[in-house]
Amino acid sequence: MSWSLRHALVTGISGQDGALLAAHLLARGVAVTGTQRPGRTLDDWRLRELCIADDSRLRIVALDPTDGGACAELIGAGAFDAVFHLAGQSRVAESFRDPLGSLAANGRSTVHLLEALRLHAPQTRLVLAASAEIFGAPAQAPQDEGTPLAARSPYGVSKLLAHASVAAWRASYGLHASSAILFNHESSLRDEAFVTRKITLGVARIARGLESGIVLGNLDAKRDFGYASDFVAAMAAMAQRESADDYVLATGHAASIREFAGAAFAAVGCALDWRGRGVEEVGVDRASGVIRVRIDGSLLRPFDAPLLVGNAAKARAALGFTPSLDLAALARTMVEADLARLDAGSA
Ligand code: NDP
């Protein structure tokens, strides 16, 4: 694939995907303008870990994507070849606490950006970070681009609005706007609020004798855990396709939270046995008999899709998308990064 981008706008530069995508683009000679929320100090630890914080081709600007005027001003003046809309309220659990805020951050922001592109930069391409949560509790597995959309969480509804808007603006105005239907993707840069990173940091702290156990919510939810670096590369490829389209990005393999925890503990040589049921379930260190995982019922969500697993055949064929890490390797990568941070005193 020839590399046609010269300047990209990445909303949500401070997040896992924003930082990884910026690094991916910069490494290919693409200048990046990244956005952060106005009035906040940029939390640039991910940019520093990726060694791009001081790259002269990376510019940071303030943008509230729920402000239509600000979106229009930035897009109109920016001369971007592509906009990657990654900023948003990314936590399903938080969306139950603040549904309207999530709808604005994820849904309304996308419409503002689409309108800004339509009016001021119709040649600029857009890639949206949508989510598998738009499928709700699908009867069909694996899910693909044709699976009925039936979001159940406020987060899913907000992403559904964004996803549907991309398709509508593409069809109605001919914009090169694409939606990435993202299944879970993790890395050592994942926020600690997400269960995978909570687990890997907890495992690292236990391995270093700083904690004795971790407390989790629903262990039964099955998710399709991919490696975030693969996902941002695919989003970059989406912007370079001749035609815009929507793509499921997923590994095709589902694992429960229990299995992810088992893989993370295995990375430090600890085999867990699971005993009990429901909120009484515990994960016990087979060698020492110490309880390493407990359940806190207050962490259970009003709705948690039992199984989300994607079929990325379309992305594989069109984008060359190939998942590079299996569950064990992904968990090990994350645990090793957390151990290194603890040993360096930076976690
Ligand atoms: P992160 O939570 O790591 O990053 C989110 C980014 O959005 C941060 O830069 C954050 O800025 C910004 N942000 C948060 N809240 C708001 C808000 N209310 N208004 C504007 N900006 C906000 O998420 P990821 O990088 O993992 O995800 C990127 C995108 O992909 C998100 O839209 C997410 O919903 C979506 N996605 C991710 C999946 C995953 O598994 N990672 C799966 C499916 C979808 P700040 O630093 O100021 O908080």
Banded pLDDT at 101 (limits 50, 70, 90): very high
Tell me the pTM: 0.97
Q: Give the whole-number percent of the chain exceeding pLDDT 70.
A: 99
| d(CA 269, ligand 1 centre) in Å | 32
pLDDT digits (tens, 9 = 90+) for 303-329: 888 899 999 999 999 999 999 999 999
Nearest CA to ligand 1 atom 9: 12
Taking alpha carbons only, the member of 80, 82, 84 closest to residue 12 is 84
How high is the mean pLDDT of the chain?
96
| d(CA 89, ligand 1 centre) in Å | 6
CATH architecture of 195-220+256-305+334-344: Alpha-Beta Complex (3.90)
Overall fold of domain 7-187+225-253+307-323: Rossmann fold (3.40.50)
Residue burial 274-294, b: 16+ Cβ < 10 Å; e: rest: eeeeeeebebbbeeeeeebbe
Say which range, 1-10, 36-45, 224-233, has the weakest mean pLDDT: 1-10
pLDDT digits (tens, 9 = 90+) for 124-157: 999 999 999 999 999 999 999 999 999 999 999 9
Please tell me the distance from the alpha carbon of residue 97 to that of residue 286, in angstroms, as a whole number.
38
**Residue intervals in the chain for CATH 3.90.25.10:** 195-220+256-305+334-344
Asked if pLDDT for residue 46 goes beyond 90, the answer is yes
Which atom, in ligand 1's list, is nearest to the CA of 66?
19
Joined tokens for residue 169: 């603006």
Active site residue 133: yes
Q: What is the mean pLDDT of residues 195-201?
A: 98
Please tell me the distance from the alpha carbon of residue 260 to that of residue 256, in angstroms, as a whole number.
6
Residue burial 51-71, b: 16+ Cβ < 10 Å; e: rest: ebbebeebebeebbbbebebb
| d(CA 131, ligand 1 centre) in Å | 11
Which atom, in ligand 1's list, is nearest to the CA of 13?
9
Catalytic choice (49, 94, 155, 186): 155
**Residue intervals in the chain for CATH 3.40.50.720:** 7-187+225-253+307-323
Q: What is the mean pLDDT of residues 32-48?
A: 96
| d(CA 30, ligand 1 centre) in Å | 22
Residues at CB less than 6 angstroms from ligand 1: 12, 14-18, 36-37, 40, 43, 65, 86-90, 105, 129, 131, 182, 184-185, 191
| d(CA 17, ligand 1 centre) in Å | 8
Q: What is the mean pLDDT of residues 170-175?
A: 98
Asked if pLDDT for residue 1 goes beyond 50, the answer is no
Catalytic choice (133, 186, 227, 247): 133
* DSSP symbols for 48-77: HHTT-TT-TTEEEEE--TT-HHHHHHHHHH
Nearest CA to ligand 1 atom 45: 14
Nearest CA to ligand 1 atom 29: 86
- Tell me the backbone φ, ψ of residue 131, rounded to 5 degrees: -155, 150
Which atom, in ligand 1's list, is nearest to the CA of 102?
18
Q: For residue 3, what pLDDT is reported?
A: 58
| d(CA 191, ligand 1 centre) in Å | 9
Q: For residue 98, what pLDDT is reported?
A: 98
Nearest CA to ligand 1 atom 16: 88
Kind of pairing, strands 282-285 and 272-275? antiparallel
